[in-house]
């Protein structure tokens, strides 16, 4: 009898949405009701997947924890994830839930609208976390101690569990919102002072219910509301890293912007990688800003 190969050991876990992005693009200006020629593509997406892909490009070996159907779309998605360097052995493969999808329409005037259908991830609930509780990657008695990139597509109840459960209190949690509409789901990490939050100025405003004019101001407010550690970005303006011991604010390098979608994921992944290399607070922030600037200027990210 042939034995199943032993799963590779991940150096980071990415927990959240792994789904198919279906993107319709036209180079014409669009508005509500437009019906125009263009291209429709399908590619792996979901915030956790996007961060995992970027981490893999930066040389890390991420494992994805998510829900993927056992349908044809799910099988193709898992194969695509493996191709992109992800460990897929710990995914929850559901018999009865379809693989999730995100659909966006982009015109010459930017994103027109998008719908995220992450119902299967939400329905799977804590089943996606089994490997961290059943001893495969960790358990309540022997908690997982490595880094985790977590996205805010999970339901608030599950995010609250991660923010409070003993099985997660030794993990180095790095948490990103899934969209401005889901930013509020990250509040448990503020109330329970667990993990590092990666947010832009708009998401910081939603979390604090307050307008901010700079990343430094937003970082102070997030800490005042209980966050243990935050990284606040603000596009081409300064970004701030802060915790109870102090803060550092740096301006990104000035570049010509060729693309912005994905800048936040690139910043977060580059920052995690920089800290994994042992860089100190200020050096790691500078590394992440440099990598994100290279990304937005359209050059290869490394």
- Report if residue 17 touches ligand FJF, rule: CB under 6 A: yes
Which of 153, 215, 240, 266 forms a contact with ligand FJF (CB under 6 A)?
Answer: 153
Which phi and psi (to 5°) does residue 44 adopt? Answer: -60, 135
Binding segment (CB under 6 A) for ligand FJF, from list 13-21, 77-85, 189-197, 233-241: 13-21
Which of 97, 263, 272, 276 forms a contact with ligand ATP (CB under 6 A)?
Answer: 263
Which of 191, 261, 277, 302 forms a contact with ligand ATP (CB under 6 A)?
Answer: 261
Answer for the pair 149, 52: CB distance below 8 angstroms, yes or no: yes
CB nearer ligand ATP, residue 121 or residue 293:
293
- Report if residue 177 touches ligand FJF, rule: CB under 6 A: no
- Report if residue 284 touches ligand ATP, rule: CB under 6 A: no
Q: With DSSP H G I counted as helix, E B as strand and the rest as coil, what are the percentages for the chain, rounded to 5? A: 35, 25, 40
**Which 16-45 positions form the footprint of ligand ATP (CB under 6 A)?**
none
**Which 215-234 positions form the footprint of ligand ATP (CB under 6 A)?**
233-234
In the bound complex, what is the minimum distance in angstroms from residue 102's beta carbon to ligand ATP?
Answer: 14
Which residues are paired to 20 by β-bridges?
Answer: 44, 101
Which of 92, 102, 168, 189 forms a contact with ligand FJF (CB under 6 A)?
Answer: 102
Rounded distance, CA 298 to CA 77, Å?
Answer: 26
Residue 34 DSSP code = -
- Report if residue 106 touches ligand ATP, rule: CB under 6 A: no
- Closest chain position to ligand FJF (CB): 45
Q: Which sign, positive or negative, has the C-alpha torsion 104, 30, 177, 125? A: negative
Closest among 194, 160, 199 to 47, alpha carbons compared = 199
CA distances for 287 relative to 137, 272, 273, 275, angstroms: 30, 10, 9, 10
Rounded distance, CA 265 to CA 131, Å?
Answer: 25
Rounded distance, CA 218 to CA 253, Å?
Answer: 21
Q: Which residues bind ligand ATP (CB under 6 A)?
A: 200, 233-236, 239, 252, 255, 257, 260-265, 267, 289, 292-293, 296
Q: Which residues bind ligand FJF (CB under 6 A)?
A: 17, 19, 21, 45-47, 50, 102, 116, 118, 153, 178-179, 182
């Amino acid at each position: 009898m042939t034995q199943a190969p032993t799963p590779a050991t991940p150096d980071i876990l990415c927990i959240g949405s792994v789904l198919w992005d279906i993107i319709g693009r036209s180079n014409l200006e669009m508005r509500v009701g437009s019906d125009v020629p263009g291209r429709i593509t399908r590619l792996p997406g979901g915030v956790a997947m996007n961060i995992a892909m970027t981490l893999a490009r930066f040389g890390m070996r991420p494992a994805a924890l998510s829900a993927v159907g056992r349908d044809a779309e799910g099988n193709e998605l898992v194969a695509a994830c493996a191709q992109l360097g992800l460990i897929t052995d710990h995914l929850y493969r559901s018999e009865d839930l379809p693989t999730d999808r995100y659909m966006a329409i982009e015109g010459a005037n930017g994103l027109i609208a998008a719908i995220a259908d992450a119902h299967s991830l939400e329905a799977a609930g804590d089943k996606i976390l089994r490997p961290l509780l059943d001893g495969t990657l960790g358990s309540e008695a022997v908690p997982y101690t490595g880094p985790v990139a977590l996205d805010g597509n999970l339901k608030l109840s599950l995010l609250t569990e991660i923010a409070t459960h003993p099985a997660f209190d030794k993990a180095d949690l790095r948490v990103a919102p899934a969209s401005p509409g889901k930013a509020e789901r990250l509040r448990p990490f503020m109330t329970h002072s667990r993990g590092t939050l990666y947010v832009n100025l708009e998401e910081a405003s939603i979390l604090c219910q307050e307008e901010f004019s700079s990343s430094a101001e937003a970082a102070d407010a997030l800490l005042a509301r209980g966050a243990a550690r935050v990284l606040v970005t603000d596009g081409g303006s300064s970004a701030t890293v802060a915790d109870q011991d102090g803060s550092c604010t740096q301006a990104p390098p000035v570049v010509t912007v060729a693309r912005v979608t994905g800048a936040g994921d690139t910043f977060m992944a580059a920052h995690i990688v920089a800290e994994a290399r042992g860089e100190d607070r200020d050096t790691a922030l500078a590394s992440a800003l440099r990598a994100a600037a290279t990304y937005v200027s359209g050059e290869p990210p490394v």
